[in-house]
Amino acid sequence: MKYLVLDDEIIAAEYLAALICEVDEKAEVVTANNPIQSLKLAKQQPFHVCFIDIQMPGLNGIEFASKLKKLYPKTNFIFVTGYSDYMGEAFGLDASDYIMKPANVKQIRHALENLRYVSQQNLEQKGKQRIQITCFGNFEILIDGKPVKFKFDKTKELLAYLVHRKGTRCTSKEVIASLWEEDGHDSYYRMLKKDLQDVLNQLGCGEIIYSERGQIGLSNLECIQCDYFKWVENSIEGRMLYHGEYMAQYSWAEEVNALIEMEKYLK
């Protein structure tokens, strides 16, 4: 489970994070104290549960949840606040719970045992069933069995390159050099990144992309079914899937295809 704890008081956020970890020993908790920056983070890295303070500068907790709900309608919101005035607005956003400060372990456990969207706890397993990527032959991506359509054809190539790098964090310079073999495409590259993230977010799969501070990469690989990943794992199934071509439509993949061919005969 991935949790976001948002409170402009750092000590309060860390205290709440400790309570969450006491209830859920396997919790992945991110603490934050800036709601605007947290919204940007959440767009790139969806969370199963968001624990949110309400009175914060810049963007209050209700406004934060409202904006995030437009992106991820089934995110679980748990408001932790010293004010009871916003309870109606909170439950109007389908909040899972509304806890008055100071929170305690019993309240946190009750909230987590009664989440509104329990299916979100199985986000990774759900992803395994939804995202299918083919690298052998032409590169293709299907979500829920349907081809994914991007605004730009080059966006699909950007995703192909990230799949090719299999989770490695790539700099903008690396990506541009591979996709265009020359400099001067920074603006176009930024448009492709936005197109990629926007489309995947709309389909509820934005968690597979990591993008921050001039770096981009594939994330949550466990959410993806991919023939190339199976080949890398040296599985019998993966080697049976390869039939002589790897991302055939992209010139930068030719060298890797040659290496795969060579390794096939060396085994």
Q: Tens digits of per-residue pLDDT, 221-263?
A: 888 999 998 888 775 667 778 888 999 999 999 888 887 777 6
CA separation for the pair 108, 99 (Å, rounded): 8
Q: Taking all residues of the chain, what is their mean pLDDT, rounded to a whole number? A: 88
* Mean pLDDT, residues 140-145: 93
Which CATH code for domain 2-116?
3.40.50.2300
pLDDT exceeds cutoff 60 at 36: yes
pLDDT cut 70: percent of the chain above it: 92
Q: Please tell me the chain's helix, strand, coil percentages from 3-state DSSP, rounded to the nearest 5.
A: 50, 20, 30
Task: Give the pLDDT score at 121.
Answer: 46
**DSSP state, residue 136:** B
Contact of 166 with 208, CB cutoff 8 Å: no
Question: Do 2-116 and 125-266 share a fold?
Answer: no
For the chain, helix (H) and strand (E) counts, in that order, are 12, 12
Where exactly are the structural domains of the chain? 2-116, 125-266
* Mean pLDDT, residues 44-66: 92
- Which residue is associated with the tokens 């303070």? 53
Which CATH code for domain 125-266?
1.10.10.10
pLDDT exceeds cutoff 80 at 267: no
**Nearest-CA neighbor of 111 among 261, 244, 5, 231?**
5
* Mean pLDDT, residues 136-143: 95
pLDDT exceeds cutoff 60 at 129: no
